[in-house]
Chain A
Amino acid sequence: MNDIMNDLARLDPARNTEPTAAQWARSENFVERTMAGSVATSTAPRRRWMTVGLATVAAGVVGAVAIPALVPGAAEKAVASWTAAPSARTGDQVMPQANVCGAGDVMGGASTKVSPSDVILAEQRGEATMMILRKANGNLVECLLVGKEMFASMGLTDGTPVKLPAAGVNLETSSSSGDGDDMWSNVVGLAAPDVTAVEVRTDKGRTFQASVRGGWWGAWWPGSEGGDATDNYTVIVHTAQGTTTHKPSELP
């Protein structure tokens, strides 16, 4: 390094710092639990899916807290019955699931009354219903259910109005959960009005449709890509003007 770089190095905020004994212990413990397949990656529950699965990574969500009924086996059923093409669902069609989603305490304010218009986006893949729901307190949550069994719920906004991208899509959260063959990934973002469709293509060659509705797009799929943070999938955005492709790190 030349002089200016040496001068700069003296302004390093982490210069001469070492992890504390407690930080070493926490990280070593985490590594051991990771290798044992029994890890929850974050100590900050506001950024995690609340799920039955063992390994969970989520990034970018506003908040998530415990849901009342965690049903073992629902996630496995969802993964086993997953389909590449979702079936769009209206609010009327998913009211049983919407009531369960709204009653959860993710993002606070369990909604005792949910109406079809509160369902912003809903889709069905195999046995699993995915939805984005506006709760009575204005917060948006995403829920994944098999029948009335909710196996994951995540806060998306804290009630403040969201600003849609001027064009294309953004990425609000990308995550994965579960363990081994039952791992699944989830992505959610905002979509500009001109977006007609969104697809996801994993680097392993799997391509599937996302759902787009109400200014949001989202998808979930079997696999760990969403939480790997290695840009190992591609988001394909269709508009009337054409098609663009983006790696997750390239999306705003």
Chain B
Amino acid sequence: MNQMNGPPEERFRALHRATFADLLRFVERRVPPHEAEDIVSTVYLTAWRRFTDLPSDARPWLFAVARRTMANQTRGWLRRQALDVRLAAVETPQASDDPAARVDLQRAWQTLSAADREVLALVAFDGLTAEQAATVLGCRRSTFAMRLTRARQRLQAALEPLSPPVLRLQEQS
């Protein structure tokens, strides 16, 4: 952000205009909607305080702050339940959807750990690159790539029907 021209107030307004919608969606996927705006406000307050430290690609940095803010606030709100990513309600399919496939995917999603869901959501929902998602989670890009691969494999495995019993017996012999 420091490389942009103009007074800091103008640059901060531009940052807000460019990121608010994405940031609000990021938070709304993870906490009840009525709490999301409070968290987003906390993120922008932090961003203003740290404006000179913000990287040029500020969106992952803002998401990372939002993630920590949600984790912190969740302690009090939800009695220390883990932060998790929701899916759209199955009752609101889109016209192009195969309802059965949608239900299968929802069931598979529910079998995953919260950590796997977080990794998948950063790419599938938030549209981040592996580099950006690694920034959000505070890990290396290679670590994120490995976690994403494994999460995707577990999701795929949860979608596939069980192998026939005969086959499993053969595998055990």
Stretch at the interface among B17-25, B139-147, B164-172: B17-25
- Contact for B68 among A17, A57, A231, CB less than 8 A: A231
Contact A60 B16 (CB under 8 A): no
B132 → chain A closest CB, angstroms: 14
Report which of A14, A41, A44, A249 forms a contact with B45, defined as CB distance below 8 A. A41
Q: Are A19's CB and B21's CB within 8 A?
A: yes
| With known contacts A57-B42, A229-B43, A14–B125 Cβ distance under 8 A | yes
| Interface residue total, chain B, C-beta cutoff 8 A | 57
* Contact yes or no, B28 A13, CB < 8 A: yes
A12 to B88, CA, bound (A): 6
Show 14 A/B contacts (Cβ-Cβ < 8 Å), sorted by A: A4-B156, A8-B125, A8-B155, A10-B97, A11-B87, A15-B88, A41-B45, A47-B73, A59-B75, A60-B75, A172-B76, A174-B72, A229-B42, A231-B68
| Closest CB in chain A relative to B54 CB, distance in Å | 11
In contact, B16 and A8 (Cβ under 8 angstroms): no
Q: Is the CB of A30 within 8 A of B29?
A: no
Task: Flag if B38 contacts A44 (CB, 8 Å).
Answer: yes
Contact B13 A249 (CB under 8 A): no
Contact of A34 among B25, B48, B65, B88 (CB under 8 A): B48
Closest to A36 in B: B9
B residues less than 8 Å from A30 (CB atoms)? 41, 44
The answer on a CB contact under 8 Å between B28 and A14 is: yes
Secondary structure type dominating chain B contacts: helix
Report the stretch among A21-29, A71-79, A116-124 that lies at the interface. Answer: A21-29
Chain B residues with CB under 8 Å of chain A are: 9, 12-13, 16, 20-21, 24-26, 28-29, 35, 37-38, 40-46, 48-50, 65-66, 68-69, 71-77, 80, 86-89, 94, 96-97, 101-102, 105-106, 109, 120, 123-125, 138, 152, 155-156, 159
Q: Is the CB of A5 within 8 A of B106?
A: no
Structural contact, B20 and A19, CB atoms closer than 8 A:
yes
B48: A residues at CB distance < 8 A:
31, 34-35
Contact B38 A13 (CB under 8 A): no
Q: Which residue of A lies closest to B153 (CB)?
A: A4
Which residue from chain B places its CB closest to the CB of A30 in the assembled complex? Answer: B41
Contact B37 A1 (CB under 8 A): no
CA–CA, A110 and B28, complex, Å: 36
B74 nearest in chain A by CB position: A60
Find chain A residues with CB under 8 A from B43 CB.
229
Which residues of chain A have a CB within 8 Å of any CB of chain B?
A: 1-2, 4-15, 17-19, 23-24, 26-28, 30-31, 34-35, 39, 41-44, 47, 55, 57, 59-62, 170-174, 224, 227-231, 248-249, 252
Q: Among A4, A17, A35, which residue has its beta carbon within 8 angstroms of that of B159? A: A4
Report yes or no: B44 in contact with A34, Cβ–Cβ below 8 A. Answer: yes
- Residue from B77, B109, B156 whose CB has the most chain A CB atoms within 10 Å: B77
Q: In the bound complex, do residue B152 and residue A5 qualify as a contact, i.e. CB atoms below 8 Å apart?
A: yes
Q: Which residues in B have their C-beta under 8 angstroms from that of A227? A: 42, 45-46
Residues of B with C-beta under 8 A to A12: 29, 87-88, 124-125
Which residues of the other chain, B, contact A60 by a CB distance below 8 angstroms?
72-77
Knowing A5-B120, A230-B65, A249-B72, say if A43 contacts B42 (CB, 8 Å): no
Query: A35 near B41 (CB under 8 angstroms)?
Result: no
With contact pairs A55-B45, A230-B68 given, residues A42 and B16 touching in the complex (Cβ less than 8 Å): no
**In the complex, which residue of chain A has the Cβ closest to the Cβ of B77?**
A60
Cβ–Cβ contact A13 & B29, under 8 A: yes
Ordered nearest first, which 8 A-B pairs have the shortest CB separation? Answer: A60-B76, A14-B25, A59-B72, A8-B124, A12-B125, A229-B69, A59-B73, A60-B75
A4 and B45 in contact, given A43-B38, A59-B76, A173-B76 (Cβ under 8 angstroms)? no
15 further A-B contacts with Cβ under 8 Å, apart from A34-B44, A59-B42, A60-B72, are A4-B155, A5-B124, A7-B105, A9-B124, A11-B102, A12-B125, A18-B21, A19-B21, A27-B20, A27-B40, A42-B41, A170-B75, A227-B42, A229-B66, A248-B68
